[in-house]
A and B are shown apart, each in its own frame.
Chain A
Amino acid sequence: MSRVIAFCFLLLASVLGYLHIDSRPAWVPFVGGDSVENIQGSEELRDPMETSKPVKDLKNASPAKPTQPSLRMDWLPDTGAPSVHAASLIALRDGAVRAFWFAGSREGAPDVVINTAVFDPQAARWSAPTVVMDRVSAEKGLSRYIAKLGNPVPARMADGRMQLFFVTVSIGGWAGSSISTVISDDEGLTWGQPQRLISSPLINLSTLVKSPAILFADGRLGLPAYHEWIGRFGEFLRIEANQVIDKRRMSSGRGAIQPVVFVDGVQDASAFFRQTRSSSQLKQIPVSETRDAGQSWVASKDLEIPNPNSALAALTLANGTRLMVLNNIDAGRYRLVMVIRESNSPQWKAIQVLEDDESLANDQRREFSYPYLVSASGADAHLAYTWDRKKIRHIYFSANWFKHASNSLKEKEAQ
C-alpha cells in the first residue's frame, strides 16, 4: 500500500516537473548587432565631449595626421586603495557613463570593495566614488560566508533597470568563484539585495564574469562567463533577472577564458577569448562561433593577433565598426593597443597604441590590463583599463577621432 502511495506521489511530481519544463521560455534570437550596455544610449548619436574641455592629450596619441583630434584621458577617482583592478563601464540614460571597479589593499584581500563613479561628459569629470558592495554586505545579502569580491560587470535589463554581476569567492582562490548579482532601479544610485547565480554542479565553484552581456529578443540576457579551475573554458549563460535559466559551453579544455562576444546577426555571433594555453601552444586569440543564437558554439580558427594570457575588450559601434583593446604581445601586459575592423573589411588593424613600455627594462615595465569598452552615443567609445594595478585610466574616443583615425588608416594603406 505504501508503495502505491509513493508511486502516486511520483506521478504528481512527474506532472509538476513536466509542467515546469513546458513553462520554460524557448531559446530566441539575439537582438541584432549590439551589446546590452549600449542600448539605452543608441537613440542619440551626439558627441557630448566634442564641446567639453580637453583633459589631457594621450602620450603617443596620433601616429598619422597632425589634424587628428586628440584623445581625452583621465583617471577614475582615487579611493586611497593601493590596489585597483577590473574596471567596467555602462552608458547611462542621460549620456553619462558609470564605472565599476574593485579596490583594496591587494587583489583578493578581504577589504576589497566594488566602487562606482559617474563620468559627466559635459564637465569631463568623475563624481566622488561610492561603494556598491563590500564583503560583509555581500555575505549578509547572500546569507553565506564570502571571503573576497572580484570582477564587476554591469548590464542593462530589457525593462531599463541596471544589473550588476560580480564575482564572489567563499573558499580558495579565483578558481572558487561564483557569480552574484544586484539590480538597481535608479541608474546605480541604490541597489537591491544581492542574489547568487547557480551555474556549476560542483558546489557552484568556479564561474566568473568579465565581459558585457548580450540581449536576446525576448529581453533576457546572454552573459558570457568562464570557468577557471579544472577546465578553463567559456560558457554562455542565459539569465532571467537573478537566475541562470540555461547555459551553453563556448569552448572546452584549458585554453580559453574571458570571452567577449560580437553579435554578427540575430542568429550569429563570434566569441574571442583570452588564451590560457600551455607554453607549447600558439599565443593567439582563440575564437568560437555560433549560428543558432548561442545554443551551440564551435571553435574556429584563431584570430592571428598575439595574446599573452590577458583580457580583451570589445565593442561594436552603430556604423558596424568593431573595436578591440588588447595586449598584442606574446608575454607581459606592457603594451596596450586598440584594433579596429570596419564593417566592410575582414581585417583587424591596429589603430592606436595606448600604452607601450617596450623600451623599458623588464623589471620597470608596468601592467596595462583588463580593458573595458562602452559607447555612450553609438559613435564614440569610453575605455577603462587597469594601469599598473595602482590606478584605472579612462580614455574617451570621440566620433570625430574615429573618423580621422579611419581616414588616416585608409590613406596609409593607399600609399
Chain B
Amino acid sequence: MMNQYMQLIALLELSITCAVVLNILLQKLFQMEFPFAARVALVLLLGNIFFWPLGMSLELPLSAYVRGVTGDLSIVTMLLLWGALLPSPKKTPLEFKAPIALIAIMFYPLALGFGMLDPYAWGYGSIGLLTCVVAFAILCGLAGWTKGVWILSVAIIAWAAHWHESANLWDYLLDPFLAIWALFAIPSAIYLKRREKAQSGYLFRAG
C-alpha cells in the first residue's frame, strides 16, 4: 500500500516537474515572462497531461516514460525548478552553484568506481554527511539565500521520511541534472561578468 502511494507521489512530482520545465522552455522560446496566473494554469494543464494515462498505444502515463530515463529527481532539483513558478523568482546564487559543481566533480567519479572510497555509501546513515549538509544550509542562510535553507531542510526531512524509493541522503540532495546545471553555471557566470566589465569599460572609455 505504502509502495503504491510512493509510486503515485513520484509520478505526480515528475509530472509537475515536466510541466514546469516545459513552462520555462516556452518562456525562453517566446522570450517573454508569462504572468503568474498563466504559468500556474499552464503547469496544471501540462501536469495533468503527464500524470494521467493517455491510452492509445501508451502503456503508461507520460511521466512514467520520463521516470524510466531520469529516475526520481532529487528534492533539491525539484524544488529549485518548482521555485521558478513563484511570482518573482530570484536567481539561484553562484555561491550555491559553485560548491554543488565542485562536490559533483569529486563525488561522481568516486561513486562510480574510481578507487575503493565510495562517498555514496555515506548517504545511508553518516552523521558526518548530515552535519556537512546542515552546515552548508546554515552558510546559505547566513549568505542571505533563505530559500536554500528551506530546500535543504525539506530534502533532509524527505530522506528521514523515506519519501522516495531511495534510502540514501545523496539521492535527495544531488542528481546529475543538478550537477550539470551547476557546472554550466560557472562558465556562464564568468562570461556574464566579463561582458559586464567590458560594457562598463565602454561607458567610461576616454573620449
Contacts and interface: CB of A to CB of B under 8 A. Distances in A.
Contacts of A318: none
A13 interface: yes
Nearest to A243: B167
A230 interface: yes
A16 to B, nearest CB: 4
Interface residues of B, number: 60
B153 interface: yes
B156 A17 contact: yes
Contacts of B25: none
Given A7-B149, A139-B64, A21 B121 contact: no
B112 A7 contact: no
Contacts of B120: 200-201, 247
B12 to A, nearest CB: 11
Contacts of B60: 139-140, 143-145
Interface in B132-185: 134, 137-138, 141, 146, 149-150, 152-154, 156-157, 159-162, 164-171, 174-176
Interface string A283-313: 0000000000000010000000000000000
Given A9-B149, A145-B65, A202-B176, A24 B156 contact: no
B111 A202 contact: yes
Contacts of A2: 146
A342 interface: no
Q: What range describes how many residues of A lie at the interface?
A: 35 or more
Interface of A is mostly: mixed
A203 interface: yes
Given A171-B68, A232-B113, A16 B150 contact: no
B118 A21 contact: no
Nearest to B123: A201
Interface stretch (B3-11, B34-42, B90-98, B190-198): B3-11
A196 B165 contact: yes
Nearest to B131: A14
B165 to A, nearest CB: 5
A20 B159 CA distance: 9
Interface string A227-253: 101111100000000111111110011
Given A13-B156, A17-B160, A140-B59, A229 B112 contact: yes
Nearest to A251: B116
A201 B108 contact: yes
A229 B164 CA distance: 25
Interface string A212-232: 000000000000000101111
B64 A244 contact: no
Interface string B96-129: 0000000000011001111111101101111100
A201 B111 contact: yes
A202 B120 CA distance: 10
B70 interface: yes
Nearest to A16: B160
Contacts of A9: 149-150, 153
Interface in A69-84: none
Interface in A131-155: 136, 139-140, 142-147
Nearest to A3: B146
B159 A17 contact: yes
Given A16-B160, A201-B171, A6 B146 contact: yes
Residue of A13, A147, A200, A247 with most chain B CB atoms under a 10 A cut-off: A13
Given A21-B127, A244-B167, A227 B112 contact: yes
Interface string A20-32: 1100100000000
A12 interface: yes
Nearest to B148: A6
Contact of B152 (A10, A247, A249): A10
Interface of A: 2-3, 6-7, 9-10, 12-14, 16-21, 24, 136, 139-140, 142-147, 170-171, 193, 195-198, 200-204, 206, 227, 229-233, 242-249, 252-254, 297
Nearest 8 A/B pairs, CB to CB:
A231-B113, A145-B68, A198-B166, A170-B68, A20-B160, A13-B153, A143-B7, A6-B149
10 contacts: A6-B150, A7-B149, A143-B8, A143-B10, A145-B68, A147-B68, A243-B166, A245-B124, A245-B167, A247-B121
